[in-house]
Amino acid sequence: MFDTETTGLNPLTAELVGIAFSWEVGKGFYLPFPENKTEAQELIEQLRPFFESESIEKVAEFKIRY
């Protein structure tokens, strides 16, 4: 499961601050994103194979009240 943290609620203007990952109850980690846009894009490119892989099951957390 993963959850993103952003600077706001509008997906068109909010910036990614970090991603929290958890693979079992009680275990997980938070990956903060750099403020520098070039460095943040490089990190996104490193994560791309994980998010695009169809062989890795992913569950995203959504906060319905927003």
Residue with the bigger pLDDT between 66 and 28: it is 28
Of 30, 54, 34, the residue nearest 44 (C-alpha):
34
16-40: pLDDT as tens digits: 999 998 888 889 999 999 999 999 9
* Extents of the domains making up the chain: 2-52
Share of residues in the chain with pLDDT > 70 (%)? 88
Query: What is the SS3 assignment for 13-51?
Result: CCCEEEEEEEEECCEEEEEECCCCHHHHHHHHHHHHHHH
Cα 43 to Cα 49: distance, rounded to the nearest angstrom: 11
Residue 51: pLDDT band with limits 50, 70, 90:
confident
Cα 36 to Cα 15: distance, rounded to the nearest angstrom: 11
